[in-house]
Structure 1
C-alpha cells in the first residue's frame, strides 16, 4: 500500500480501535498453489499489551491458506467513501476516495482445541452483547455441548503482527473549510452519503484542531 506522510496511521491505540469497530477481516496468503483469500470475524485479545487478534477459520481453509507455515496478510477495512471534487473549492480538482485501513502481517499461531473453543465463545459474546437477549455460546448446557461439537470444524488463530502498514486518508491535506464541507456532504442524503465516514472524519479533525489550537 502506497504511503503518504499526511495519512500514515501509527498509533497502536488507533489501530486497535479500528479492529474493535470493524471486526471483519480479509486473510490473504501467497501459497504454493497461488494467492488465496478468506474472510472471517475477528476480536482483539484485550488481555494482551500487544496488538493481538483472535479469530478462527473453517476447515479446510487452514490447509488452503497453509496456516502456520508462512506469513499471512490480514486486511482490516474501516469506513470509506467517494469524495467528489465538487465538494472542494472552484479550483481544478479530481475526485478521491477517503478510507481507513490496516495491513497486518504475521505467521499466525494455531490455537489448541481448548483455546479455539474459548475464542469462539469470545467472538459470539462480542457480537451478541448488543442483542436484547444475548445467545451466549455457553449460555446453556445444551448450547455448550452443541458448540463443542461444531468447534471441531474450525481452527483457532492468534494473529500478532510483526509488521503493520496502516493508513487513515481523511482529507488531512485539505483546509478546514473544505473538510467541513466534505463532512456535511457525507452526513447528507446525496448519492455518496457515508455517515460512518463523516463521523470518523469529524473525530480525527476535531483531535487535530484541538492539538493545533
Structure 2
C-alpha cells in the first residue's frame, strides 16, 4: 500500500529532495553524513553521484568497500487523530521518502570535476534569474585545494525503494479532513498538497 518501486518516480523524488543522509558501516560501527545527491539515468541504469569530505569517517568506510545507504526525506507531518472525523483513532506521521542502497565507486579527477560542474549548475539554475555560478570561476589553485579535500562517489543502486504514506488506509472523507487541517498549519502544506494530488 505504501511501498514505491517505480524507478522513474523515485528518481524524480530524489531530484526534488536531493539532500540525503549517506550511511555506511566500518569496523562494526554505523556511520552517517549528509550530502546533496545528483540522480541520473532511468530504469535499471539509475546512478547517484555525491561527494563527501575526504576527512569524513563515512568516506573512509566507502573507500574500504562498505556499500552505501542513501535516505531522502520529502515532505512530512504529524497527523492528529482528531482530524479523521472518526472515533478510536491514533496519531501517526505522513511522509514521503526514498532509500537507495548499493556499492559505490570513487570518481577520478576528471569525473569529479564534471560532477562539481553538474552539481553547481543543478542548484544554481533554481536561483534564476541569477547568473549561474560554475566552478570554472574559481582559480586553478582554489579548485586544486577543493579537489584535495573531497572525494566524489558514484552509486549504482541495487535497491531503490520509496514510501508514500498519505493515509491511503483511511476513507476518502478522513483523508480530506487530514488535508484540510494540514493546510491550516505552515509546516503541513506540502504534505497536504501531496495528499490532494493523490486523491485528484
* TM-score, structure 2 as length reference: 0.89
Q: Distance in 2 between matches of 1:112 and 1:58?
A: 15
Residue 98 of structure 1 corresponds to which residue in structure 2?
Answer: 94
2:146 to 150, 160, 176: 150
1:32-181 alignment runs, 5 A limit: 32=27, 34-46=29-41, 50-61=45-56, 63-67=59-63, 69-131=65-127, 132-138=129-135, 140=137, 143=138, 145=140, 146-181=142-177
1:27 aligns with 2:1: no
| Deviation digits for residues 177-207 of structure 1 (CA, Å, limit 9, x no counterpart) | 11111111111137xx41111122222222x
CA contact (8 A) 1:124 1:136 kept: yes
Residues 13-37 of structure 1: CA deviation (Å, up to 9, x unaligned): 1101110110101111121151111
1:116, 1:49 → 2: CA distance? 23
Identify the structure with the greater strand proportion: 2
How much does 1:148 deviate?
4.2
* Alignment: residue pair count: 197
Where 2:111 maps in the other structure, the secondary structure is: helix
- Give the aligned partner of residue 188 of structure 1: 184
**Dislocated runs of 4+, deviation >6 Å:** none
5+ residue gaps, structure 1: 1-5, 207-213
Question: Contact between 1:57 and 1:155, CA under 8 Å: does it hold in 2?
Answer: yes
Please provide the CA RMSD for this pair.
2.1
The answer to whether the 8 Å contact 1:121/1:136 transfers is: no
Instruction: Spell out, residue by residue over 1:122-142, the C-alpha distance to the aligned partner (whole angstroms, 9 max, x if none).
Output: 1111111122323422453xx
Indicate the residue corresponding to 2:194 in structure 1: 200
Displacement of 1:59 in angstroms is 0.8
45-54 or 80-89, which deviates more:
45-54
The answer for unaligned runs of 5 or more in structure 2 is none
Residue in 1 that maps onto 2:4: 9
C-alpha distance 166-68 of structure 1, shift in aligned 2 (>3 A):
farther
Taking structure 1 as reference, are residues 144 and 201 closer, same or farther at Cα in structure 2, changes over 3 Å only?
farther
